[in-house]
Structures are given as structure tokens and as C-alpha cells.
Chains A and B, each alone.
Chain A
């Protein structure tokens, strides 16, 4: 255990936690926006997989990670339009259609990977972009300012998304249609158009999250996300639909995962015990939900489709 409490290992663990948090933070930010407008998207995992494969395959073929990221976001938007059609237009049950999207993404990416790629060739990653000056601060620089650009982007989006939701007219509309769509409708807010918009943004975030994961690992494989999309959804509840709290949850998950990994690498815990430790984030989430569920309430119109009467 003592070898864990050396400065360099602790620094590496915290930096790793921030890095690991990035994909599900991105996905969770998008999901938070979607849920604030009253739409639950359980398909995040599937869209993340599709985004991850799109980014991987594009980067593999073109050699450009930027192109990979762009394609992943674009495919995310397409998936968003599909999901918006399903839930906003067709009023499909949101929990179930999300599972459909998840299964589709899981199978489809596996299929494409086996058929189009096969040999799991690595792609060039995004590469670290240390922030000048700040990254030179001892320890703190390594923890916070020596990451790849997607990590900065994800954390930069937290205040941006907070601002969008809380300080803009669009955010006001989003919050209104998530609580009382009928009232918002009377005030002239187009409920379905706004929801379509939030869904598309949320799915772009999920696609980007997948890209962040694939580019971080530099590889794709069947079920690469391994449940991260579902963790992202949990984080939204965990953070009680507030961007800063969602970020805190993501960081907590990231640091816990990173710690388990470090302990494993340093031989502090055996393989079997690390499986037990890996249960921690899930149990933690349940406990937090038990504590907060009664106190904070979900957007009142969550999962409820809107249809103007008459």
C-alpha cells in the first residue's frame, strides 16, 4: 500500500482519473441537456459505440484524427435525428427505444469492425497538448494541464453547458418544456422542435464521447465502451440534472477507476479483489440515488411525449 502513496503515483492516478472521466463526462453532459428537456435517451451506449467506430475507422483510413472526431459528431447528429423522429414524432417509449438503439449500435459496430477492419490496427491517438506555463506547475500541472485536447474540451463544456441551460433563452425554454410542456407551448415555445434540437446535441455529445474513447485507446473492439454509456446516464441522476454535479460525479468515477487500475498495476490488490472494487462505482451510485431521490426531483415531463391537444 505504501507504494501507492508516493507523489508520482498519486499524481498519475489523479491525472488518469481525469482522463478516464472524459468520455462519460461528455456523454453525461449531453444526456443532461436532453433530460432537462424531458427526453430520456437510454441509447447513449449505442451511439457512443457508433461514434467510437466512426472515429476509429475514419482515422484509420485517412490518418486524420480531426476527421475522425468530425465524422463521429456527424454520425451522432444523424443518430440524434433518428431518435428524435422515434420519440418526438412517433412517441415511441423512450426507455425501450433507447435499448433498441443500444442493441443496434452494439451489433452494428461489431459487424462493421469484423467486416471492414478485422485486424485491430492501432490508429494515431490525439496526442497530449500540455498547456504552456500551467503544465509546468509541479504535480498540479501534470494532473490538470497535461492532457489531450478532448479532455480540456470536455471540462470546458461544463461551464458552457451550465451557462446555456441556466442563462440563455434557449436554456429557459429547455427547462420549461422539461417541466410543463403544455405551459411552455401556450407561451409559444415549440416543444417538439426544441426537443429535437436537444436530442441532436445530446447525441453529438455521445458520438464525441465515443470518439474520445477510441482515440484515447487508439483502437476499436467489440463493445469498446463496456457500459460507459450507461454510467453516463447514471451520472445525470447522480448529479441531479446539474452540470457541475454531473462533472463531480464523472470525476469521482474516473478517479475510483484509475485508483483500482493503479492498485492492480502496483500489485496492491489481486485480480479477484479488483473485481470487487470495480463494483464500487455502481454501488456508490445506488447509495447516492437512495439519498437524493427524495430530495431532488427529475424534470417533471421526463419520458413524457408531448402532443398538443386538439
Chain B
């Protein structure tokens, strides 16, 4: 797992000094070229899929880019799709760097959405400047708790977190379905799985500019910055990353490994929980909707956030542009469907291919860099 955060690297060779200059040039080049090639290779696979579907790949990708980034409105839509990816991605970065694999983004989003919805239903008359931060906080708490549970299970009972987070996803999805059929369902003739329209005081205000972009965008960026400071500019972050790098050494060094695991998953879940709150209060319908399944509500952000985090090199700030890229693919997918009648499901498949190629390229990058380091001599 640690291989992910820091790809294998051979010890710095101290040979031929004249090669140092070339190496200094080549090394970052390899670091750039390999992941970019991986993405290009993934896009090539996408092009083959488009071809197989009888669509021109060039016009396909053009529709994708225009749809995702072609106008201010499209950019705003992209930003809206990017928010949950960014937030989940920041959380994933924190967890993965602590050596904890969090597959539970879906459940944590739902938990955050549920708790924030309950707060909005319970306190509808609280003025907006108070209620909006309150529901976002409730989202963080909900997601945080949902993350802390598998964290504690891993730390104190040795339960594999991959399994427990997946199970927590199932529990959250069914619980959401229960609430929206029973306790939280909108009263009235149309008894579908949704709440009533939630308090207007909890609406995330639109940002100026005439687009649909709302406050959630700034919140997401703020969380990314906070995530950066947490991981790289705080003693807590140093401890988390040390645990992620080598738990045994950290334990011998007297660090609280168990506490770190719980904290990492709690923070990770809190980020996803904020995404859940934003998905509710920044939505067009301003309500929690479970119709179409839990994945319809989360829009798979719990999984796509992993893609985003990986692509951002598990760096909270890098998830910002990475989430724009994947958000753009998602909005562009709608344009792709309209223009070329290629179902937007292509984007989900493409995301999978990107993950696979990027993850697989880590070793190649490590190898090439060692090769460069070794003065283009011996291999790794």
C-alpha cells in the first residue's frame, strides 16, 4: 500500500558527475511523461470504444471537451460535478497516505447527507448564515462517524477496512432507502423516495456570475486547502503519513498507530460527508432523493473520488484540478450523449480504464526513474 504513495526508488547512485545534469533533466521528464502517457493510452482505449460504437472518436472527444469546458455555463456544470469528487478525493488522499484503503466514500456521502438533512428538517427556521454552516458541519460529522466506525474496527478488532467500508456502504444505502420510504418521506400524493423541499435557509447560495455554481465550490476548495495543511503542515499530518509509510517503525517510535488509523478514516469520511451535504443543499431540487437508488444520489462519487485522488497523486491540492478533469468528463458525457447518441455510461467505463492505466504506470515510472538515476546503466 505504501508503494502507492511512494513508488519504489533505488538508492541515489553517486557515480559519474557529468551525468547529474542530464539526470536532473530526465528525471522530472519521466515523472511527467509516464502518467500522461497512461492517460493518453486510456483515452486511446476510449477512442477504440467510440469507434466500436460507430462514432467518430475525434468528434466524440470534441463533444466531451466542449460539453465539459466549452462555455462558462458548461464550466460551471463541470465545477458542480467536480465538487463531490474533489471532497471525496481529499478524504481519500488523507486515508491512503495513512495506509488505509477507504472504499466507503459512497456510504460516507450518504451518512453526511442524512445527518445534514435531519438538521435542516429539525431547525428549518434558523437564519441562513447559521443554518448553511450548520448543515455542512452536520454532513462532516455524519460522514466522519461513518468513517470512524471502520477505522475503529480496523484499529481495535483487526477488521480489514476494505471489507468493512464496503459493508458500511451497503448499510448506508439501505438505511437511506428505509428513511426515504418511512420517516423522512415527503407527505402527499407522490410517495416516491424523497424528502420534502428542505428549508430555503439551508440552500447553498449561488455564486455571482449567472451560472448554477454555488457556495459548495468554495467550500470544496477550502476543504482541499485544509486537507493540505492537515497532511503536510501539521504534526498530526506527519504522524499520519509516518504511519502510512511504515506502521511498525511508527509503533516503535512511540506513535499512536491505532489512533491515527481511526483519525484518518474519520477525516476521510468527514470530507465525503460534506460532499453529501453539498449534494443535497446545492441540488436543483433542494431535497434528499433516493429514487433511482443510492448510487443515483451519490452519482458514484465515492468511487470516482478514488480515481480523482489517484490522479492527483494523493495530494489534496492536486485533487482540485484532477476533479475538474473528471467533472468535465462527466458533464461532457451528457453532451456526448446528445451529440453522438453515445450513452454517457462510456465515461464510467473510461474512468475505470484511467484508474487501471494510472495505477499500472506507477511501477513503470519507478523503473524508468531508477534507470535514469543509475546513469542509464543497470536496471532496478
Residues of chain A touching chain B, judged by Cβ–Cβ distance below 8 Å, are 40, 42, 46, 85-86, 90-93, 95-97, 99-108, 110-111, 114-115, 222-223, 227, 230, 233-234, 237, 271-273, 275-276, 278-279, 281-283, 285-286, 289-290, 293-294, 298, 303, 305
Contacts and interface: CB of A to CB of B under 8 A. Distances in A.
B238 to A, nearest CB: 23
Contact of A234 (B158, B167, B182): B167
Contacts of B342: 111, 115
Interface residues of B, number: 54
Contacts of B153: 286, 289-290
A99 B353 CA distance: 10
Contact of A222 (B171, B175, B345): B345
A135 B303 CA distance: 45
Interface in B300-331: 300, 303-304, 306-307, 310
A286 B164 contact: yes
B362 interface: yes
A86 B171 contact: no
Contacts, number: 169
B349 A104 contact: yes
B38 to A, nearest CB: 11
Contacts of B359: 86, 92-93, 96-97, 100
Nearest to A230: B166
A258 to B, nearest CB: 17
Interface in B161-189: 162-164, 166-168, 170-171, 174-175, 177-178, 181-182
A113 to B, nearest CB: 8
Given A99-B355, A115-B343, A293-B160, A283 B171 contact: yes
Given A100-B353, A103-B349, A227-B170, A233 B310 contact: no
A93 B345 CA distance: 25
Q: Which A-B residue pairs are the 6 nearest by beta carbons?
A: A107-B348, A104-B352, A100-B355, A107-B349, A103-B352, A110-B345
Interface string B349-378: 111111110011111100000000000000
B225 to A, nearest CB: 25
Given A100-B354, A103-B304, A230-B170, 10 more contacts: A91-B362, A93-B3, A95-B101, A95-B103, A96-B359, A99-B355, A100-B353, A107-B346, A285-B167, A298-B160
B29 interface: no
B177 A275 contact: yes
